[in-house]
Amino acid sequence: MIEPGSIELATGEHFDVCIVGAGIVGSSIAMALGERRLHVAAVDLDLSGRLSSSEKNAGGVRATWWQAVNIVLCRASIEYYQRIASEVGFRQKGYLWLYDAATWPEALAHIQLQRHLGHRIETLSPIDVGRRVPEIDRLDGIVGATFSPEDGLINPNLLKQHYRAEALRRGAQFLDRVYVTAIDAGSDAVRIECWRSDDEMPDAGLIRLLTQDAPGEAETGHLFTITAKAVVIASGAWSPHLLRLLGLENYSEPVRRQVCLVDNRTTNLDRYGMIVDTSGVYFHNEGPHILAGYSLPKEPPGYHFNYDGDAFFQAEVWPRMYARMGCMERLRHISGWAGLYEVSPDRSAVIGCGAPRVFEAHSFSGRGVMQSYGAGQALADLIANERYGALDATALSRDRFTHGEPVFEALHI
Ligand SMILES: Cc1cc2nc3c(=O)[nH]c(=O)nc-3n(C[C@H](O)[C@H](O)[C@H](O)COP(=O)(O)OP(=O)(O)OC[C@H]3O[C@@H](n4cnc5c(N)ncnc54)[C@H](O)[C@@H]3O)c2cc1C
């Protein structure tokens, strides 16, 4: 197998498209462009993704959203993940979402649209919840629930590898240790100015580059230029930097999210998919453990990667889980991590053409894994054919922030 990053660019090689950022979204776009026979270079400072959101997420996949475009892109992704389920560890065990009095009417108001767009979803009473998941033995505050059996969990690393392998098979080139420092989108081509580290990027150098701005003095590297007909900004939470290089308005911000890995000796939740409590805590079985997350409502934006560890678990996660399930009494914190959501004002992604020869797919606001396939296919059609094909992401264009309709999503964990 050809390893990403092992290919050197031939001098003067000209690409149809250069993708900046080869996380799960950039890798999906590379595959989709390859399927359309376009010659692709995907560059990334760290293809292993040590700080990338694609390596830090909870692996949830669902189409239970409020807005049609989000449901459609996630449905398309789910249908694709079904076809490659064993390769990418896709387990359709459903999402069980518990609602309180304040949120239940809103949930009910969107179920018709979800069903209309083909997404199976059941409504449950609190008693049904207790029957379906007997481990949920404290039903206080639950007014209703939804269960969507086609949603589930995926191994995001395997999915990213799948996209890359398919892209490589179609001739895409993945360049590792490459940091984009400038982009000039001219009338006939785009010039992408790159700095390439001569050595493996140490953690400290990576953090410096991805939390500050320019190559640090300690790193040695060289400069080179990639020329392409078009560029795609798929740089996740770092897209604001790339947009700034292009003089494009940025609307999104990085926000830290933490998840805990928990030792659970008394309960096996393996037969369930994701459970989302009324309190906002969400969890699912992760091998012999439980992965549990909670988004702090007042988390300040910024490139923050510190994980608050046992203190976070004890203060924010465990009390909420135990309040719902008595069997969680003896949960023990093992470890955890923090990564970045890239959050847009309406909590939907920005996908489309930002300027002539400049395309973008970022700000997935916690939905990048579950939407990666659909987003890649939609954008690739727009790039290859200058219009959307079967999947239309027009509603997610950046224009909506100035003179369009927001694509507001509230079921955001
Ligand atoms: C704790 C947590 C839980 C989550 N849970 C889920 C979930 O359950 N389901 C779901 O669908 N989503 C979830 N998400 C969100 C999901 O992980 C992201 O939306 C998704 O990974 C974004 O992928 P990406 O490819 O856009 O960005 P990334 O994976 O961050 O990739 C961006 C890449 O761009 C590179 N880059 C940046 N700047 C430059 C530059 N100047 N030059 C070169 N390369 C550059 C970076 O190195 C990086 O590899 C979660 C996120 C977190 C943090």
pLDDT, tens only, 308-358? 999 999 999 999 999 999 999 999 999 999 999 999 999 999 999 999 999
Mean pLDDT over the full length of the chain: 94
Testing ligand 1's pocket by substitution, the residue of 54, 81, 244, 258 carrying the most ligand atoms inside 8 A of its CB is 54
Task: Give 256 Cα–ligand 1 centroid separation in angstroms.
Answer: 12
Strands (DSSP E) contained in 149-189 are 152-153, 173-175, 178-185
The residue extents of the domains of the chain are 14-55+157-250+346-403, 68-154+253-343
DSSP calls for 395-407: GGSTTHHHHS---
Confidence of residue 410 (pLDDT cuts 50, 70, 90): confident
Task: Give 63 Cα–ligand 1 centroid separation in angstroms.
Answer: 19
Does the CB atom of residue 90 touch ligand 1 within 6 A? no
Global pTM reads 0.96
Query: What residue's CA is closest to ligand 1, atom 35?
Result: 21
Query: What residue's CA is closest to ligand 1, atom 19?
Result: 368
Contact of 191 with 312, CB cutoff 8 Å: no
pLDDT of amino acid 211: 79
pLDDT of amino acid 2: 35
Atom of ligand 1 nearest to the CA of 365: 19
Domain 14-55+157-250+346-403 CATH superfamily:
FAD/NAD(P)-binding domain (3.50.50.60)
pLDDT, tens only, 356-400? 999 999 999 999 999 999 999 999 999 999 999 999 999 999 999
Query: What residue's CA is closest to ligand 1, atom 50?
Result: 57
pLDDT of amino acid 213: 61
pLDDT, tens only, 261-298? 999 888 889 999 999 999 999 999 998 899 999 999 99
Share of the chain above pLDDT 90, in %: 87
Q: Which residue, 195, 247, 203, 187, is CA-closest to 49?
A: 203
Does the CB atom of residue 368 touch ligand 1 within 6 A? yes
Collect contacts of 323-328 with beta carbons under 8 A, ≥24 apart. 323/138, 323/279, 324/98, 324/136, 324/138, 324/277, 324/279, 325/135, 325/136, 325/137, 325/138, 325/267, 326/137, 326/138, 327/135, 327/137, 327/266, 327/267, 328/264, 328/267
Domain 68-154+253-343 has CATH 3.30.9.10: yes
**Predicted confidence (pLDDT) at residue 163 exceeds the cutoff of 60:** yes
1 or 217, higher pLDDT: 217
pLDDT of amino acid 209: 86
